[in-house]
Amino acid sequence: MEKRDKFKKIFKEALSYIIIILIVIIIRVFIFDPIRVDGPSMNNTLKDGQILILNKFIYKKSDINRYDIVVIKLDNGEKIIKRVIGLPNEEIEIKDNKIYANGEEIDNSFAATITDDFNTSEKLGLKKVPGDKYFVLGDNREISKDSRVLGFIREDQIIGKAVFRIWPFNKFGKVK
């Protein structure tokens, strides 16, 4: 009986660690994931090397909104971080460093650089953002590889919303 009791004790201890590891894996795979900012395309909002928490579950229960900072998985597997500017079925135009959605000016205060004129009809061949796609921009518009280069982003390419910055510690807090 002594060996059996010893085995039970070891099994009980190991089981608690196994459960914790499984919970962490489930959370990381399905709900939250750390993501590192790679490059200057989101300056000044996000800087190269910062680490964010990506909420992968948020869009299962709510819509993608204008100005959300999202992580996009491109078809080549590369992950990029951009800001949602144009929503499905909207006409997006950039003129004189101002952004218009359906003819109305929208907030462009996060832009770190001048944004060149852009019209989706001329550059992407469609007047409006298709019904299951989004128009995204980096905040550092001069160098950002975004919808002006990549075209519209499919909803299934958006893997989550950047919600919290955890590194560097002096910038710790909610991502805006």
Decide which of 50 and 3 is more confident.
50
- pLDDT of amino acid 167: 85
- pLDDT of amino acid 1: 56
Q: What is the pLDDT of residues 18-40, one digit of tens each?
A: 887 877 777 666 667 888 899 99
Per-domain boundaries in the chain: 1-30, 33-174
CA dihedral 109, 127, 123, 130 (to 10 degrees): 80
Give the active site residues: 41, 82
Q: Is the dihedral of CA 4, 6, 10, 15 positive or negative?
A: positive
Reply yes or no on whether the pLDDT at 161 is more than 90. yes
3-class DSSP state of 148? helix
Q: Which CATH architecture has domain 33-174?
A: Ribbon (2.10)
| Contact assessment for residue 51 and residue 34, using Cβ atoms and an 8 Å cutoff | yes
Q: What is the pLDDT of residues 83-142, one digit of tens each?
A: 999 999 999 999 999 999 999 999 999 998 888 999 888 888 899 999 999 999 999 999
- From residue 112, give the alpha-carbon distance in Å to each of 46, 84, 92, 119: 11, 16, 19, 20
- pLDDT of amino acid 16: 77
Share of the chain above pLDDT 90, in %: 61
